[in-house]
Structure 1
Amino acid sequence: MTLLTYTLLTDPAPLEASAAGRSPSTGTVYLVVTNTGQVSVSWRTFRVQVPVGDGAGHLTPNITTVTAQGRYTTSSGTKPVDVQRQDPDAFLVTAPAGASFAPGDHLVLTLENITVAATAGLAVLGVKEHAKRGNLRLDDRSAALAVVKTAPKEIPAPRDFRADDAMVAAGANITLRWEGSDDFDYKILFPDGQATNLSGGSWSPAADDAPKRATTYTLVATSRTTPKREHVLTTTVQVRNPVLESLTAKVAVITPLVVGPNSGEGGIAFLQGGVTVRRTGDSQNRGALFADMASLNGVKTGAVYTEFIYAKDTSEHRYSWINLHGDGITAYLTDGGSNGLGSVTASRFNT
Structure 2
Amino acid sequence: MTLTLLTYTLMTDPTPLEASAAGRSPSTGTVYLIVTNTGRQAAFWHSIQVQVPVGNGAGHLTSDFKKIKPKGVYGTRSGSQSPVNVKPQGSDTFQATAQGGGRTRLDPGDHLVLTLENVTVAAAAGVAVLRVTENSSSTQAGQLSNRYAAVPLMKTTPKEIPAPRDFRPDDTMVNAGTNIVLRWEGSDDFNYKILFPGGQATVPQGVRSWSPAAADAPKRATTYTLVATSRTTPKQEHFLTTTVEVRDPVLETLTATTGISTPWVQGTASATGGRVTFTGTGAAISTNSGGPGSVTADKVNVQWVTAYAVTGPAGGDGSIAFRGGGVAITSSAGTTQLGTVFADKAEFNGVRTEWVQGRSHDDGWISFPKEGLNVRRGSGQDWGNVFADKADLNGVNTRWVQGRTAADGWISFPTSGLQVSRGGTDTPTQGNVYAESICARDAPYGQGGGWINLHDEGMTVYLSKNGSNGLGSVTASGFNR
Question: C-alpha distance in 2, partners of 1:73/1:97?
Answer: 18
Q: How many pairs are equivalent?
A: 298
Judging changes above 3 Å, is the alpha-carbon distance between structure 1 residues 90 and 33 closer, same or farther for their aligned structure 2 residues?
same
Match of 2:231 in 1: 224
Pair 1:88 & 2:95 matched: no
Determine which structure has greater relative contact order: mean sequence separation of CA pairs < 8 Å that are 6+ residues apart, divided by chain length. 1
2:18–2:156 Cα contact (<8 Å) kept? yes
TM-superposed CA distance for 1:72, in Å, is 1.5
Question: C-alpha distance in 2, partners of 1:259/1:242?
Answer: 16
1:215–1:236 Cα contact (<8 Å) kept? yes
Please list every run of at least 4 consecutive aligned residues from structure 1 whose deviation after the TM superposition is greater than 6 angstroms: 257-264, 331-334, 337-342
In structure 2, runs of 5+ residues without a counterpart are: 264-276, 283-302, 311-324, 328-341, 369-481
Question: C-alpha distance in 2, partners of 1:2/1:165?
Answer: 63
Sequence identity percentage: 57
Deviates more, 1:257-266 or 1:172-181: 257-266
Aligned residue for 1:64, secondary structure, equals helix
Match of 1:203 in 2: 210
Pair 1:27 & 2:50 matched: no
Equivalent AA in structure 2 for residue 2 of structure 1: T
2:50–2:94 Cα contact (<8 Å) kept? yes
Once the two structures are superposed, what CA deviation does each residue of 1:232-257 show, in whole Å capped at 9, x if it has no partner?
Answer: 1222212122234x4376xxx666x9
2:24–2:231 Cα contact (<8 Å) kept? yes
2:176–2:249 Cα contact (<8 Å) kept? yes
Judging changes above 3 Å, is the alpha-carbon distance between structure 1 residues 289 and 318 closer, same or farther for their aligned structure 2 residues?
closer
Judging changes above 3 Å, is the alpha-carbon distance between structure 1 residues 157 and 74 closer, same or farther for their aligned structure 2 residues?
closer
Match of 1:156 in 2: 162
Question: C-alpha distance in 2, partners of 1:241/1:137?
Answer: 88
Match of 1:336 in 2: 359
Pair 1:97 & 2:102 matched: yes
Match of 1:127 in 2: 132
Question: C-alpha distance in 1, partners of 2:36/2:28?
Answer: 27
Question: C-alpha distance in 2, partners of 1:254/1:213?
Answer: 20
Equivalent AA in structure 2 for residue 319 of structure 1: K
TM-superposed CA distance for 1:150, in Å, is 1.0
Match of 1:190 in 2: 196
Match of 1:6 in 2: 8
Considering only aligned residues, what root-mean-square deviation do their CA atoms show, in Å? 3.5
TM-superposed CA distance for 1:83, in Å, is 1.4
Question: C-alpha distance in 2, partners of 1:218/1:140?
Answer: 62
Aligned residue for 2:66, secondary structure, equals helix
1:127–1:142 Cα contact (<8 Å) kept? yes
Pair 1:239 & 2:246 matched: yes
Question: C-alpha distance in 2, partners of 1:81/1:159?
Answer: 42
2:40–2:108 Cα contact (<8 Å) kept? yes
Using the size of structure 1 for normalisation, the TM-score is: 0.74
Question: C-alpha distance in 2, partners of 1:182/1:196?
Answer: 14
Using the size of structure 2 for normalisation, the TM-score is: 0.55
Pair 1:172 & 2:178 matched: yes
Aligned residue for 1:208, secondary structure, equals helix
Equivalent AA in structure 2 for residue 184 of structure 1: F
Aligned residue for 1:319, secondary structure, equals coil
TM-superposed CA distance for 1:331, in Å, is 6.5
Question: C-alpha distance in 2, partners of 1:35/1:26?
Answer: 30
1:317–1:334 Cα contact (<8 Å) kept? no
2:18–2:27 Cα contact (<8 Å) kept? yes
Judging changes above 3 Å, is the alpha-carbon distance between structure 1 residues 185 and 259 closer, same or farther for their aligned structure 2 residues?
closer
Match of 1:322 in 2: 348
Question: Between Structure 1 and Structure 2, which shows a larger proportion of strand residues?
Answer: 1
Question: C-alpha distance in 1, partners of 2:260/2:212?
Answer: 41
- Decide which structure has the larger Cα Rg and report it: 2
Q: Specify which of 51, 57, 60 is matched with residue 53 of structure 2.
A: 51
1:319–1:334 Cα contact (<8 Å) kept? no
Judging changes above 3 Å, is the alpha-carbon distance between structure 1 residues 189 and 260 closer, same or farther for their aligned structure 2 residues?
closer
Judging changes above 3 Å, is the alpha-carbon distance between structure 1 residues 259 and 158 closer, same or farther for their aligned structure 2 residues?
closer
Judging changes above 3 Å, is the alpha-carbon distance between structure 1 residues 210 and 334 closer, same or farther for their aligned structure 2 residues?
farther
TM-superposed CA distance for 1:266, in Å, is 6.4
Question: C-alpha distance in 1, partners of 2:166/2:260?
Answer: 41
Aligned residue for 2:118, secondary structure, equals strand
Question: C-alpha distance in 1, partners of 2:248/2:107?
Answer: 79
Match of 1:297 in 2: none
Equivalent AA in structure 1 for residue 110 of structure 2: D
Once the two structures are superposed, what CA deviation does each residue of 1:69-117 show, in whole Å capped at 9, x if it has no partner?
Answer: 1112236832212212011211111233341111112111010000011
Question: C-alpha distance in 1, partners of 2:50/2:32?
Answer: 12
Judging changes above 3 Å, is the alpha-carbon distance between structure 1 residues 55 and 98 closer, same or farther for their aligned structure 2 residues?
closer
